[in-house]
Amino acid sequence: MTDRATALREQGRDIISLSVGEPDFATPDHVIEAARAAMDAGQTKYTPVTGTMALKKAAALHFRRDLGIAADPANIIVTSGGKQALFEAIVATVSEGDEVIVPSPWWVSYPQMVRFAGGRVVPLRTHAHRGFRFEAGELESLITPRTNWVLLNSPGNPTGAVYPAEMLLALGEVMRRHLQVMALSDDIYAPLNYSDGPHATLANLCPDLADRICTVSGVSKSHAMTGFRIGVATGPGWLIDAMGTLQSNSTGNPSSVSQAAAVAAFEGPQDFLTDWREIFRQRRDLVVAGINAIPGLSTPVPDGAFYCFIDASDHMGRFGGDDTKLALHLLEHGVAVVAASAFGGKDGFRISFATDEATLTEAIHRIGKALA
């Protein structure tokens, strides 16, 4: 949709893109400065394949400070984006016929990674009226002897759902009963969790399960560094080693300059995040109120990240039940969104509110007009 929106813009059409998954803020100055300094200092060569010790130490600080996870730098891998860490964890462990439980609506790449590895995607359907959260019992009913991972993503893309601690503690209980099940926790949006209280994550709440949890994080979303391509993961040594073997024989080390920038991101000031969270929270309130005021549209209140997952069931008759047609109709009216079906959902669409309030207000106006 982003590509289509760009093509229409090039034809001179006025299109607002609410389809992108990156913050609209500029990368903080101290991060840019660190990248520049690294280049000036000649840090333009290979680094150790799984990342520099400086960045592993900075990532350990991040895991401890922001996620409450005591991670040893020896059990940390630096990757080219959070995406590569997730891919490596799955490809290193999933064999033909293995099952991976993926809560839906899901981030688009999870099922593709599982299928790439020959695994079977087992959807765990979640619903808007329960804030896109699931009960541990629902998850347990999907476990078989072939289950090897459950995927967790909080705050979540595309729903913005945040998992409360009680839910994760109950999940930990389930894992204690099923020793073959590991958890892959994608916490890349954790610094953009604007619910009250500290961010809850499984490895912090259930340290006794540490040898079966891999936690993925990064700087892409929290520090507006999507183009730098740096992710980090921590987990049991055997898994981190296997991921390193994959990395060694595929991409090699993540960019040396980006790694230096990521050290500055993790170790430098974090206070700007308080402002960013507040800005996202205000935009969230504007978007939720605006969308819920449009007849036939509804969305629960997301508690993190910068997405709203919108139900448009009442309008689907007009589009033959095909939400891609709905998304194309909105594009015709000047707003690019992503159809719910792209995320394993249905009858709706996702918008990103990583753009300013005036643009969001105009976009909501256009969506209302398009569906009137």
Asked if 324 and 341 count as a contact pair (C-beta separation under 8 A), the reply is yes
Task: Show the binding pattern over residues 135-154: x = contacts ligand PMP (CB under 6 A), - = does not.
Answer: ------------------x-
Task: Show the binding pattern over residues 168-207: x = contacts ligand PMP (CB under 6 A), - = does not.
Answer: ------------------x-x-------------------
The smaller minimum CB distance to ligand PMP, of residues 157 and 256, is found at 157
The smaller minimum CB distance to ligand PMP, of residues 62 and 83, is found at 83
Smallest separation (angstroms) from ligand PMP to the CB of 177: 27
Q: Does residue 303 bind ligand PMP (CB under 6 A)?
A: no
Q: Does residue 155 bind ligand PMP (CB under 6 A)?
A: no
Q: Does residue 344 bind ligand PMP (CB under 6 A)?
A: no
What secondary structure does DSSP assign to 152-215, as a single string?
Answer: EESS-TTT-----HHHHHHHHHHHHH-TT-EEEEE-TTGGGB-SSSPPP-HHHH-GGGGGGEEE
- Of 78-86, 167-175, 237-245, 294-302, which part binds ligand PMP (CB under 6 A)? 78-86
The smaller minimum CB distance to ligand PMP, of residues 20 and 165, is found at 20
Tell whether the torsion through CA atoms of 139, 111, 69 and 210 is positive or negative: positive
- Collapsing DSSP states into helix, strand and coil, what is residue 81? coil
Which amino acid is residue 248, in one-letter code? S
Query: Tokens representing 286?
Result: 């504007």
Q: Give the footprint of ligand PMP on residues 6-65 (CB under 6 A).
A: 21
The smaller minimum CB distance to ligand PMP, of residues 218 and 345, is found at 218
The smaller minimum CB distance to ligand PMP, of residues 154 and 371, is found at 154
In 3D, which of 171, 246, 162 has the Cα closest to residue 212? 171
Please state the φ and ψ torsions of residue 370, each to the nearest 5 degrees: -65, -30
- Residue number of the CB closest to ligand PMP reads 81
Smallest separation (angstroms) from ligand PMP to the CB of 214: 13
**Residues paired with residue 214 on neighbouring β-strands, in sequence order:** 184
In angstroms and rounded to an integer, the radius of gyration of the C-alpha atoms of the chain is 20
Q: Does residue 157 bind ligand PMP (CB under 6 A)?
A: yes
- Of 23-31, 79-87, 162-170, 245-253, which part binds ligand PMP (CB under 6 A)? 79-87
What secondary structure does DSSP assign to 199-252, as a single string?
Answer: PP-HHHH-GGGGGGEEEEEESTTTTT-GGG--EEEE--HHHHHHHHHHHHTTT-
Q: Return the HEC string of 313-336.
A: HHHHHHHCCCHHHHHHHHHHCCEE
Residues in the chain: 372
Q: How many CB atoms lie within 10 A of CB 18?
A: 28
Q: Give the footprint of ligand PMP on residues 306-335 (CB under 6 A).
A: none
Query: Tokens representing 316?
Result: 């689907």
Q: Does residue 302 bind ligand PMP (CB under 6 A)?
A: no
Q: Give the footprint of ligand PMP on residues 81-100 (CB under 6 A).
A: 81-83
Asked if 185 and 63 count as a contact pair (C-beta separation under 8 A), the reply is no
Smallest separation (angstroms) from ligand PMP to the CB of 160: 11
Measured CA to CA in angstroms, residue 274 lies from 17, 134, 194 at distances of 25, 29, 9
The smaller minimum CB distance to ligand PMP, of residues 255 and 315, is found at 255
Please state the φ and ψ torsions of residue 193, each to the nearest 5 degrees: -90, 115
Smallest separation (angstroms) from ligand PMP to the CB of 128: 18
Which one of residues 88, 90, 92, 107 is an interface residue with ligand PMP (CB under 6 A)?
107
Task: Show the binding pattern over residues 200-239: x = contacts ligand PMP (CB under 6 A), - = does not.
Answer: ------------------x-x-----x----x--------
Smallest separation (angstroms) from ligand PMP to the CB of 23: 11
Binding site residues, ligand PMP, CB under 6 A: 21, 81-83, 107, 153, 157, 186, 188, 218, 220, 226, 231
